[in-house]
Amino acid sequence: MDEKEKITKTEEEWKKELTPEEYRILREKGTEPAFSGEYYKSKEAGVYLCRACGEKLFSSDTKFDSGTGWPSFTEPMNRENIELKEDISFGMRRTEVLCKKCGSHLGHVFDDGPQPTGKRFCVNSLSLKLDKPN
């Protein structure tokens, strides 16, 4: 993705576009409570988009029930649409998953997912918007 395609907004602009809870998660790297998000149990078909910018992130075809209380996916739709960063907050070493287009926090990826990837992309429901097929 070209740098020119990235979305850059001020935090004040993001605050106007997002609800306070969306802002806390997407822009301040928050986490919604487990088993509370609208998509953690969803089995509906579609494409999960970044709630902040609409970038295509995950397919419902790769979604699975991890038992953790958050939507989990074995892989992104397109690796070029996400960014991975080391996260050492809260005394843990994790890998943060961000939307590459707008820099919003999505969740974390872990190495305890099912095959074929062995990955578990654990994502906040409030970071996503499901685009259902017509």
* 111-130 confidence digits (pLDDT tens): 999 999 999 999 999 999 99
Give the chain's end-to-end CA distance (angstroms, integer): 28
Strands (E), 20-81: 47-50, 56-59, 63-64, 72-73
Domain definitions of the chain by residue range: 3-131
pTM given for the model:
0.92
Catalytic residue list:
122
* 22-75 confidence digits (pLDDT tens): 999 999 999 999 999 999 999 999 999 999 999 999 999 999 999 999 999 999
Q: Confidence class of residue 93 from pLDDT cuts 50, 70 and 90?
A: confident
pLDDT confidence of residue 129: 97
Superfamily for the 3-131 domain: Peptide methionine sulfoxide reductase. (2.170.150.20)
List C-alpha distances in Å: 126 to 1, 2, 79, 92. 24, 26, 21, 23
